[in-house]
Structure 1
Amino acid sequence: MQIIPFQFNTSSIRVIDKDGEPWFVAKDVAVLLGYKEPRKAVLRHCLGGMKRPLPTTAGIRELVIIPERDVYRLIMRSKLPEAQQFEDWVVGEVLPSIRKTGNYGLSKIDWGNTSQVAGLLAQSIERVQEQDKQIAELKPKANFHDRVAVLDESTSVEKAAKIIGTGRNRLMAFLRRNEWVTMRNVPYQAKINQGLMDVKINPWTDNYGRLHENITPLVTAKGLVKLQKMWDNEY
């Protein structure tokens, strides 16, 4: 199993080319995304992790590797502002780099036949260009559906806005305008009943001992899919 070292800013991210698909060393990703307890974060949020013996500077070690979808799970729950930048890097650099590799039948080349070599080289270049075109066309749609697919719980309006491709305040105004939330940003009960919105209640006590509640609006995966369609239709 081949380890491919990538560098994100000053952090090293080890990626495994497993049958042409990228698998990431879980600890590398969790540490980069700011989890104080990387092992617990991986156990809690990742569903497809598996241990594999891999070469390290300290010799062969059993390391947990995770598939692409689990990387998105960790990104979605990270509190670091760099999480979005890391996701863009994974989608824009790491995945295309791994998925463009392949032998294109090079083992069957007669290297003495310059015409054959030139022809196969031209085919390889054409194939890479076609893959680039397909990635560019499918990236926005795949990006959205991949992110929604990993949501197994409701998410904040801020993260929902990032997935849709806008800002929190603009999406919040959109929710108010379409009567998903009140002017005080509290989800309407009808939207909660439809499984589109949810709330997080944070109780707190003031200096006089009186109990108050802060209500944070949340968007469900179902709601995010509907919001994306509404957003695309309007913008």
Structure 2
Amino acid sequence: MNQLQVFNFGSAEFRTIQKEGIPWFVLGEVCKVLEIGNPSQVKTRLEDGVITNEVIPDALGRSQMTTLINEDGLYDVILESRKPEAKAFRKWVTSEVLPSIRKNGMYATDELLDNPDLLIEVATKLKEERQARIAAETKIELDKPKVVFAEALEVSQSAILVGQLAKLIRQNGIDIGQNRLFQLLREQGYLLNKGEQYNMPSQRSMEQGLFEIKTTTLNNPDGSVRVTRTTKVTGKGQIYFVNKFKKGA
């Protein structure tokens, strides 16, 4: 369960969540407290193990994907600060914030612990924020196919060769080449695997509208005529396979 908590260090405010019992701090707001100007540069200097991304409400209540750092990452960022108060900030976090989180499951001041009505109010707000976060995460998950669809749509206006489809899939982050793609399409029944129909679309994939066959008539030097057939991936097929491979990845 992730619990959003807001802390105030002097006049500066920053948020944390608990993820599997571990506190994570909003990187941009920690940098603001410590007067570090460019959180994106700080992020590039941190190790992957101290960084995560979560959907949490911003100051206006809008759910946003946010970069967070754990306790180790927090100390790394504090060491980068030239602000004289950085030492006091670290002492405050280690002596008050973290012990309170571990003891109470939230940052609980004496005022909060001594006031049951206020405690209930805070707990209710945390529950509402959690429900909002879950709803936002669900929406992001539901929107993923739409995002993939939009990415693929730009290059799906005409039929392309299977080799070009492999390049398109690579552009979408999947490491695959033409030969491997042909092999997978045969193994999964999209293309035929035997005889004169080798690498031609199966009846099923043609009915799905994933492929079309381009027929070309060539005149040989001896006057005979040769007909070639080439498998091409339709616009619908491009979207289908990009979505399929990205989902599989």
Relative to the length of structure 1, the TM-score reads: 0.41
Higher relative contact order (CA 8 A, sep 6+): 2
Mark the structure with the bigger radius of gyration. 2
Relative to the length of structure 2, the TM-score reads: 0.39
